[in-house]
Every structure is written in structure tokens, then in C-alpha cells.
């Protein structure tokens, strides 16, 4: 890549990856009509992107807020305390979770002290912003080629698994919600960015455990991992099926 290897550009690359991952889950599970999607390339892989402006804005705003939490925590110098982000697909009639798509963050360091702000996430002309040019990352083996290679590999594996599940899926009426699993010290009721007036008002404390979990079989499918520099994530899917009484 021709971009400088700086922390803001790496965060933007992580943003692109999470948006693409979320969109593929929605597409292959047909949460929205397939007709609203176009093919495009991301990480040198054919992916699907919605043409619906409202949906695209929702997804981008959600990922921006997630990255604020990942980097800055609740604004009290406690970033890096995100355990995982989950996409839960549930049956709208029974409200029971059918599928979980998980990105687990392992030993994520606190990046908040290394970057002044995340305003570049919201900038229309982020490539022209001087704020993207520092800090420069100098970590052995942490290169754009390695970053893109690992993201491409795990994205390909996820898409292949989504295709398999799509072919054998049940006719459930599914919708989705996104859950962020945090350490207990994070309080999302506070503002974290006064300049962008960014608050976590859209997040509601909840639990990912189901009361009827004992009545369900669970299948876990490992997708892969990314381990390059400070980016260490595991990805897996989890499918549930009710056990006949």
C-alpha cells in the first residue's frame, strides 16, 4: 500500500474490516432484501455493500462508536478493555438467538494515550487530513502487506462459512442486534469526545446469555485469527438449535 503506516490509518483499516464483516453477515443471512446490495471489492475480496443510505449510515455510526470505545473506553484513559463484539441473529417471533458472530479481542492495548482524538473517523475528506500522518507505527513485522494479508484471509474464511450456512439455513424470520462485551470498569453513560459530542447513549446494558440455553444445542465454528502488531483478534460463529423435549 502507498499509505503511511500510522495509527489513524490502521484504525481506519480496522473500521473498514468491521463494516465489511457486519455487512456480509447481514447479506448472507438475508436480513434485508438482497436487491439492495451491490458487489464490490474490499481486502481484494468480493463482498456485498448495501445501497441503502440509512442502513449504511447506521452501520458506520455503530462502528465509529465501537472504535471510540475500543480506543478510549469511556473517556477515562481505559481503552483496550473490549472483550468482544457480537452480531446476534434472533427469531423475531420467539426472540430466541439463533446465531452469533463473534470477533474477540485478545490483549488489546490502550491506544488512547497514543492518539489525540478520533475525529478522522467522521471526516468526509479523511485522506487529506494531517491528523492521519502521525503517530507512525514502528513495530517489527507490522506492515501493510501483513495487515491486509491477514484481514483478507479471515474475511475469506468467514464468507465461505456464511455461504455454507446460507445453503442449509432454516426458514426463520431473523433480525439482528450488536452487542459489545466490555470489562466491568467501562461506563458507557459518559461522554468520551467533547469535540464531536460523541456519547454512548445508543448502548443499553444487557446480557448475552439465554435463559433457555440448557434447552439448546450449540455448535461453535472457528473462523480464524488475526495476529499482527497490536491487532490480535479471534473470530468464530456459534449456532444454536432447540433440543426436542
String of DSSP letters for 222-244: EEEEEEETTEEEEEEEEEEEEPP
Which three-class secondary structure state does DSSP give residue 79? coil
pLDDT for the residue 114: 75
Residue 200 phi, psi (nearest 5): -100, 35
Pairing mode of beta strands 174-182, 97-105: unpaired
Q: Are 121 and 198 in contact (CB under 8 A)?
A: no
Q: Is residue 183 part of a domain?
A: yes
User: What range does the domain containing 16 cover?
Assistant: 7-240
Residue 102 phi, psi (nearest 5): -125, 135
Stated length of the chain = 245
Q: Is residue 200 part of a domain?
A: yes
pLDDT for the residue 144: 95
Q: Is residue 177 part of a domain?
A: yes
Helices (H), 78-211: 144-167
**Which stretches of the chain score pLDDT less than 70?**
1, 73-80, 109, 113, 124-129, 131, 168-171, 184-216, 242-245
Q: Is residue 14 part of a domain?
A: yes
How far apart are alpha carbons 8 and 122 in whole angstroms? 12
For residue 144, the tally of other CB atoms under 10 A from its CB is: 15
The CA-based angle 170-175-178, given to 5 degrees, is 125
Q: Are 112 and 192 in contact (CB under 8 A)?
A: no
pLDDT for the residue 104: 94
Residue 121 half-sphere exposure toward CB, CA atoms < 13 A: 28
Domains of the chain: total: 1
How far apart are alpha carbons 145 and 206 in whole angstroms? 38
pLDDT for the residue 234: 95
pLDDT for the residue 192: 46
pLDDT for the residue 83: 86
The CA-based angle 97-29-234, given to 5 degrees, is 70
Q: Is residue 79 part of a domain?
A: yes
Q: What CATH number corresponds to the domain at position 184?
A: 3.30.900.10
Q: Is residue 182 part of a domain?
A: yes
pLDDT for the residue 244: 47
Q: What is the pTM of this model?
A: 0.86
The CA-based angle 110-112-114, given to 5 degrees, is 95
Q: Is residue 1 part of a domain?
A: no
Q: Is residue 2 part of a domain?
A: no
Amino acid at each position: 500500500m502507498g499509505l503511511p503506516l500510522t495509527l489513524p490509518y490502521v484504525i481506519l483499516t480496522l473500521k473498514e474490516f468491521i463494516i465489511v464483516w457486519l455487512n456480509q453477515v447481514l447479506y448472507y443471512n438475508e436480513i434485508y432484501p438482497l436487491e439492495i446490495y451491490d458487489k464490490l471489492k474490499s481486502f481484494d475480496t468480493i463482498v456485498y455493500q448495501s445501497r441503502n443510505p440509512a442502513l449504511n449510515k447506521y452501520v458506520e455510526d455503530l462502528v465509529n462508536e465501537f472504535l471510540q470505545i475500543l480506543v478510549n473506553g469511556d473517556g477515562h484513559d481505559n481503552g483496550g478493555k473490549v472483550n468482544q463484539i457480537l452480531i446476534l441473529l434472533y427469531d423475531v417471533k420467539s426472540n430466541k438467538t439463533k446465531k452469533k458472530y463473534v470477533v474477540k479481542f485478545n490483549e488489546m492495548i490502550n491506544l488512547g494515550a497514543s492518539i489525540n482524538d478520533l475525529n478522522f473517523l467522521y471526516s468526509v475528506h479523511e485522506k487529506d487530513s494531517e491528523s492521519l500522518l502521525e503517530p507512525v507505527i514502528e513495530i517489527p513485522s507490522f506492515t501493510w502487506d501483513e495487515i491486509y494479508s491477514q484481514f483478507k484471509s479471515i474475511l475469506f474464511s468467514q464468507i465461505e462459512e456464511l455461504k455454507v450456512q446460507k445453503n442449509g439455513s432454516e426458514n426463520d424470520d431473523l433480525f439482528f442486534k450488536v452487542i459489545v462485551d466490555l470489562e466491568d470498569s467501562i461506563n458507557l453513560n459518559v461522554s468520551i469526545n467533547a469535540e464531536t459530542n460523541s456519547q454512548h447513549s445508543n448502548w443499553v446494558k444487557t446480557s448475552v446469555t439465554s435463559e433457555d440455553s440448557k434447552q439448546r444445542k450449540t455448535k461453535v465454528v472457528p473462523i480464524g485469527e488475526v495476529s499482527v502488531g497490536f491487532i490480535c483478534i479471534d473470530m468464530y460463529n456459534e449456532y444454536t438449535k432447540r433440543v426436542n423435549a
